[in-house]
Structures are given as C-alpha cells and as structure tokens.
Structure 1
C-alpha cells in the first residue's frame, strides 16, 4: 500500500511539474502562426512574446513546420525555441523591416532597417533549438555596395534612412553613408546582458549574421552558419562586447567567419567601448575571407582574446588582424593556440596596420596599435606563412611565434616591427626565404628551420634590422646561405650556438652593411 501511495504521489508531483513547465511554453501556432508558411507570422510571434513577457518570461516555441515572418523583436527573459524540423523563413519584402530602429552598421551608429532578430537593452534572452532560420538574403545582396547602381536616389527606403541619419557621425573616409541604404544584420542584440544562441542552423543572411553589440556575457555554442558566396555575410561578429564565449560552431560564409570589432573611426573612438574577454574554441571554418579576424573596425580597442583548437579549411586567410591610420584603438593581449589550417588561399597569419593606403602622420588618437600577440602550435598549408606590416610611426610590438610548422609558397614577411621572436618554427617554402625582416628591432630567432632549401636564397633575410639574436638553428643540407644582411641601418646582429656545417655561406653581407658578424 505504501508503495502504491508513493507511486501516486510521484506521478502527481511529476504532472504538476510538467504542467508548470508547459505553462512557460508559448506555442506560436496557438497565437495564430501558420506552420505551412501560408501566412506572415510576424504578429502572431509578437503576441506570443508579449504573453510570455507579461507572465515574467518564458519560452516562445516553434514546433516543426515552415513559418514565414518579418522581424522578431525579443523582450527580457524570453527564449526563442526553434524545434527540430522547424524552419523560420524571413520575408524579403523590405517594407516588413520598417520602422527603422537604432542599430550599428560596420562600426557606426545609425538608424536602419530592423535586424531580423532584434533586442535593445534586454537581459536573459536566447535563441535555441535544432531548427533552421533562413534569411533569404539574395534580394538584399543585390543592394550591397558592389551593386550600388541598382539603387535609385529617390527610393523611399533611401529617403527614410537619410531623414533619420542627418546627424550620424560618419567614418573618416567616404563610403556607405553617401549611399543612404544599408542591409540589416540577421541577429543583432544591443546593450543586452546574458545572451545565448545555441544549436540552431542559420542560412542566407542579408548582411552580418550574428552581431551582438555592447552586450555582456554572450554564449554562442553549437551554431551552424551557411551563407553562399555573397557580400559582407560574415558569420559571427561580436562588437564592443564583454565576456563572449564562442564554441563548437561550424561556419562557411561569404566574408569573414568570426570577426571581433569595436567601432569605426570617430564613432568608435567617441563611444570607446572595447571588445574584451573573448574565448573562441573548437570551431571549424570553411569558406570565408578569414577564419578569425580582428578589425578593421577596432577603434574602441580589442583585448584579452583567446583562440584555440580550431580548424580552418578553405578560407582565404587564417588569422587576420587589420587596421589603418584613422581607426585608432589598441589590439593587445591576444593568444592563439592549437590551430590547423589547410587549403588557405593567402596567408596563415596577417597583422596589417596598413589595410588602407594612407600617408605617415603624427601619433594621435587616430593612430592604431598592435602589441602583445602570441601564436603557438600551428600547422598550416598556405600560400604565404605570415605577413606583418606595421606603421613607420607605430611599429607592431611584442609578437611571438612558438612551435609552428608551415608548408608555404613563401615564408614570413615582417616590416616595421619591434620585439619579434621565433622559437621552434619550421617553414618549408617553394620560393624566397623562410623569414624576411625589414625595419625590425629586437628580433629573436631560435631554432628556425626549412626542409626545402632553395639554391642561392638565404634561409633568413634582413634589411635594416637592429638588435637581432639568432641561435639554435641547424640548417639542412643544400642550404646555400643561412643569413643575408642588407641596409645601412643594419647593426648589432649576433649569431651564436648554431650548427652550420651544411651551409655554404653562413653570413652574406651586402656592401652597405658596415658591421662584422661572426657566425657559429
């Protein structure tokens, strides 16, 4: 008898729990949404969100089926649950994304078309589930800057944009603001706390795909993003956020796979909100201009970033940090570890401070800086091993490469940099030197090797390098020249503790080099 009563009690308790749980679920079909895509579900979804919000929060549930919708505006304490077999198809009627809302577009504050998922000053929000969301971005792509001639000056959208953005703080260089027509991001949450995007599949974004702005505590986990070759359809772009966790994602897009940004030019410097405390791990990235990219919009600064345990296969570049004069901002405290790259069209690693061609100028708030950036445990098959290009007035500083193994057409090229170090780096090139350094100070080269020596080509090539220490290297048979020195500013070069028995010419000096170097 006692067992029977106990069982009944358990069942009743379970039933009450399930009932309480189901009361926090708001099925959009019950609010009028059609799961056969026969009717625009925007209003029905809005009603479900409002009902959940009125109750203090809950889960807005999409059962299996196809839904046609316009923008979805979240409220605090709302989870959007897109179940397996459910697909949200977003309308490509531009009018559905009016009225325009507060947004940020490529690092500049604007009022623009509503993002497809949007939230402003919210907390505890999520988009989860094994379902799919489709942005049907093709119509939007036709109005990118690539196809700007298709946009007439008197379009109603252009007029509305210009009316709402008369006082916008435009970027330093001319560009999109003159067009007055901008595509919306797919998912953009602004000034929100405790954001989660998990397990969903996202396809055909109109512009940047997942774009939290000024958010705190953001988790993006297990998300698949598939955009075809298309303009500016970056994968994940957390901008000026704090405490961001990106993991277990699979990304193949029309632009950069994951980018870290913090505002552009004057607008970014005015707000001065950095991107900081980001972790990116266990992700695969296929098609895209870059695997993980920082900048070029980084005027608020980027710091304390770790990138680990990722595979890039087929991207144009692997890890890329880019900026230009006029941006301002500092990129620092970056760690990249345990990365595999294959079929990379251009460079494995890029640190480029001259992304746009500009003239030398005095150091000011417009001057960007890269410093304290460290790469380790990287295996790559690429076109060029790395390209580091600082500014004459602001060299790249304190960069290290540890335990690197790269097969490449050409090796490392470094220009305008200070405090660069290589430790246990193998670069097998098809043409050119393993390391080329120009206008570099405080350079350490420890155990650098190449198993594909090229006749008449030095393993290491210096032009105007000052204070360099080369040690622990053991060039293989067939190495003609270990080190070549060029440039009248080259000085203080120390070559010690190397095994150079297979090298024909340990050090080759051009006529303008005035120093003596003894190699051993």
Structure 2
C-alpha cells in the first residue's frame, strides 16, 4: 500500500522551528552559542565612513559571552583599529569584504605584550592580536589591508631624524629591562612597527583563505603557539622593510600549505628567539610542515633563523616553487645566538631565477671571531635536501664555525644550472649523491676545511675552461666516485692545502681529465683506485 507523506501540523512545525531559532542568526541584543555574529548589527559601517573598532569588539564580546562563535564580515569596506580575538572565536571575512586597518598610531595603544625580532617586549598592539587564547581562527575569501606605508616611512625616515615622540617615550617607559644588545639600534629608536597578525601563547590556531597586504611589519607571526594551521592564504606586500610573510616563532605543530607569497623580506621564516632573550625563553620551533606553496618576491623562499636561539627541529619542506626570490632555502645564524638546528628535510622543490644562492647553510650570518664552545654557540646538523631543480646565480653556500662545523648534510637528486657552484667551509659528513650541476664560472663544488666528504654520481653538462670540476682544500676523508664529465674537462679534481688527507678517487668516467695535486699536498693524500 502506497504511503502518503504527511505535512507536520502547526504545533509540530512550531516545535521544530523553536529548535532551529538558536542556530540561525544573532541580533545585537540576543546572542546564542554557535551563532554567526554580524558586525554590522553592532554598528560596523560597510562603507568605511567611520571606525568599526568598537563594533567589532562588541561583536567579539557578545560571542565570547556564550562560549564562542563566528564574527562575520559581510561584503563591504570596513575601517578599524586593532582587533583582539578571544578563545573560541572565528573571524569570517566573506568574499567582497575588505578590512582596512587605520594608520593612526594612537589606535594601537595601549601597548601589549609582544615579541619583536626574537625579543620579548611591550609594544604597539598588532593589527590582529590574541594572548593566551585557544580555538581561534581567521577565515574567508576577503581582504585584510594593513596600510603599512605610514609605518614604514615613520620608522625608516622620521624616527632617524626625530628627537622623540610620545610613542617612543611610552616604549622606553615599558621596556626598561630590554638591553641595547637585544635589539641593536632599535631600542634606542624606541619605535617598533607592529606585526599584522600576532597570536601569543595560543592553542589551535587557523588562518585560511584570506588575502593579506601592506603589513606594517611581519605579516603572520604566531609566537609560543601550539597547533597552528595556515592554509590557502595569499600575502602580497610591496617592496618594503621587514614585511616577511609567515613567521612562526617558538611554535610547535605548525602546518603551512597552499599559500602564495610575495613580500618585502623573507617569504616563510621559522624562528625561536634571539640571543639573550631567546636563550632565556628557550622555547624551540618544532614539528613544522610547509608544503604546496609558491613564493615570488622575497629575500628568501623558506628561511630558518637568524633568530633561532631556542633551537629548531623536525621541519619538512616539500612541493614548493620559488620564482625570483633572492635565495631559496636559507638557514642562517651567528655566534651569540646559541641553539641547535637539526632534523630538517627539504624535498621536491623547484627554484627559478634565484638572485643569490639556491641553498644557504650559514652559521656566520654575522661575522664574529672564534670563541670557546658555550651556550652562545649555534649548531646545524642532520639537514637533508633532495629532488630539487634550480637556476640562478649560485648553487649553494655551506659555512660552519671553526669551533662548531655544520654536520651531517646531504644533497640528493639535484638538477642545478647556475653561474657558480657549491662552496663549502667548516663542515663534516657532507654528501652529494646523484647531482647534476652545470656552472658557467668556476668549479661545481669547492670545499675548504671539510671532513667526511662524499661526492657520488656528480655530473656536469659543460666543463668550465681553466677550472677544475671539484676543488678541495684541506679536505680529509673524502670519497669521489661515479663522476661523469664531458670530454672537454681538463682537470676534474684539484687538491690543495697541507692538511689534505685520505682522499679516495674511484669508479669515475673521466675521459682525459686529470687530478691536479698542488705541491704542498702530501704525496699519500690521494688514492686513485680503479
């Protein structure tokens, strides 16, 4: 027998509707849990005719009172001062919505606990800020505009020629314990531009989908956070001072994916505090994945440091494209920072039009004199790069300290076409395996004061006249094997330095290329096997 559909009676329909009402919409006077809080219902104007700071604050407070919710920005143009998030709050910025942040510095007072280039300070409020919050998010297809130009100009031009200001006076009053060596030059000036988005000591953070532009300083800067996801975000800053893209610092369990970044400084940088302040906090950056991102303009594609005094460990970078950055993968630090960078994996990356080095591992980013190993001494170890193609100026630069060489470094499956090759100094246990490296100037690999060097399966498409393919100086315990060189190569290996020893050459396809041993090299330093 066919069943008939019966429409519920009026009383049943009213009962159903009464259950749905709490999850539909909010008014300014009635707020329920899990609601969308429309900022326009709290007085925000969609034509930017007045500041929406108070309206946005009231909307956040209304949602927070009932345990959290989504603060919604419908399409329109909003002008505001800083936005302070609270636990269990999501900012949803719809397609067609633009939030423009005021460049009136007074809007970012009172100053709040912050971190600036690795040093804990009290400073201007970031444009979007949270402190000790959890389950917070920024989502949507809208635009966040920082109007950073006035900040850049005041910091870089006005402050340098100004006797002082109320903002500088307030900074100095609140930061008496910050020493000049912590922020050389900046403490005296007393005017630190705020990051765009900075979350301090937060858990479960998401930033998804939005476009961010014209940041006053670093753009996305979580500090001391746990479980951070940044996905599908576009960051577009013009040429400007220190407008890095995504800078997680002293965070753990960070996931960055599907982002498109073009900025005035580094695109993505992993940090963990600077010098004295960083060693005092001693909170590492750990367990980060960076994948499926594109980087265009920027000083570096993905960078670790130079503020890394708390240490950096367990980092995976994969499936990324760098096109036109100054450098590709860059890990940098200096004496005085302390900290250990270890267990770094880079795989499946394409680099094009790199203006300087495709790969940099540098523990002398700031030139200093050797000193006894202590808590001030940084260390790099267990860093492995594979399946990378690159074109640009220089293939790579690996530079350790005399008292602390970089250690356990490998390059596998590289395909590089660059003006100059790899330069290595003060390193241990470095491996090149299945690498094609074609240069227009000088050797493919130059090593000085390196021990435990393995070069296996190196190929070059075209030899450089008058230059060896491999140039070793004071290198010990090295294995050179499986090389394939073009017929035009004259010298495939040059060895110099009186400390050279234990160099084994075997199983190479060398045509007529020879080994050139300089006069100071001991006669038994090189063993040539079949």
TM range (shorter): over 0.9
User: Are 1:103 and 2:114 counterparts?
Assistant: yes
Secondary structure of the 2:475 match is strand
| Correspondence for 1:509 among 517, 520, 526 | 517
Q: How does 1:93-492 map to 2 (within 5 A)?
A: 93-144=104-155, 146-147=156-157, 149-150=159-160, 152-172=162-182, 174-492=184-502
1:80 aligns with 2:80: no
Q: Deviations along 1:28-80, whole A, 9 cap, x unmatched? A: 00000001000000000000000000011000000000000000001100000
- Root-mean-square deviation over aligned CA pairs: 1.7
Task: Tell whether the 8 Å contact from 2:45 to 2:52 is kept in structure 1 after alignment.
Answer: yes
Q: Which residue of structure 2 aligns with residue 38 of structure 1? A: 49
148 and 320 in structure 1: CA distance in 2 versus 1, 3 angstrom threshold: farther
Q: Is the 8 A contact 1:172 1:326 kept in 2?
A: no
Q: Once the two structures are superposed, what CA deviation does each residue of 1:374-423 show, in whole Å capped at 9, x if it has no partner?
A: 00000000100000011001101000000000000000000000000000
Instruction: Verify the 8 A CA contact 1:169 1:267 in the aligned structure 2.
Output: no
Aligned residue number for residue 20 of structure 1: 23
In 2, Cα distance between the equivalents of 1:285 and 1:359? 35
Q: Which residue number corresponds to residue 56 of structure 1? A: 67
Task: Report the CA distance between 1:153 and its aligned residue.
Answer: 2.8
Distance 1:10 1:444, change over 3 A: farther
> Contact (CA 8 Å) 2:346, 2:385: kept in 1 or not?
yes
The 5 A counterparts of 1:488-499 are 488-499=498-509
Give the Å deviation of 1:5. Answer: 3.2
Does the residue aligned with 2:221 lie in a helix, a strand or coil?
Answer: coil
Stretches of structure 2 lacking an aligned partner (at least 5 in a row)? 27-34
Q: Deviations over 1:433-452 (max 9, x none)?
A: 00000000000110011111
What does residue 32 of structure 2 align with? Answer: none
Secondary structure at 1:211 match in 2: coil
Distance in 1, matches of 2:367 and 2:25, equals 59
CA contact (8 A) 2:503 2:527 kept: no
Deviation readout 1:153-177 (Å, 9 max, x if unpaired): 3300000000000112554573211
Alpha-carbon spacing, 1:239–1:495, altered in 2? closer, same or farther (3 Å) = same
Cα separation, 1, equivalents of 2:14 and 2:348: 50
Pair 343,10 (structure 1): closer, same or farther in 2 beyond 3 Å: farther
Once the two structures are TM-superposed, the CA of residue 147 in structure 1 deviates from its matched residue by 2.9
CA distance in structure 2 between the aligned counterparts of 1:433 and 1:22, rounded to whole angstroms: 68
Measured in 1, the distance between the counterparts of 2:471 and 2:520 equals: 15
Q: Is the 8 A contact 1:143 1:151 kept in 2?
A: no
Q: Distance in 1 between matches of 2:394 and 2:251?
A: 32
Give the CA deviation at 1:21.
Answer: 4.4
Q: 2:100 aligns with which of 89, 92, 97?
A: 89
Say whether the 8 Å CA contact 1:87–1:134 is kept in structure 2.
Answer: yes
For the Cα contact (< 8 Å) 1:108–1:170, is it kept in 2? no
* Aligned residues of 2:196 and 2:220 also touching (Cα < 8 A): yes
Provide Cα deviations, 1:245-292, integer angstroms capped at 9, x if missing partner. Answer: 000000000000000000000000001000000000000000000000
What is the CA distance between 1:178 and its match in structure 2?
1.5
Which deviates the most, 450-459 or 165-174? Answer: 165-174
* Deviation by residue 1:493-513 (Cα, 9 ceiling, x = unmatched): 00111122x1331x1100000
Q: CA distance change for structure 1 residues 84 and 10 in 2, over 3 Å: closer, same or farther?
A: farther
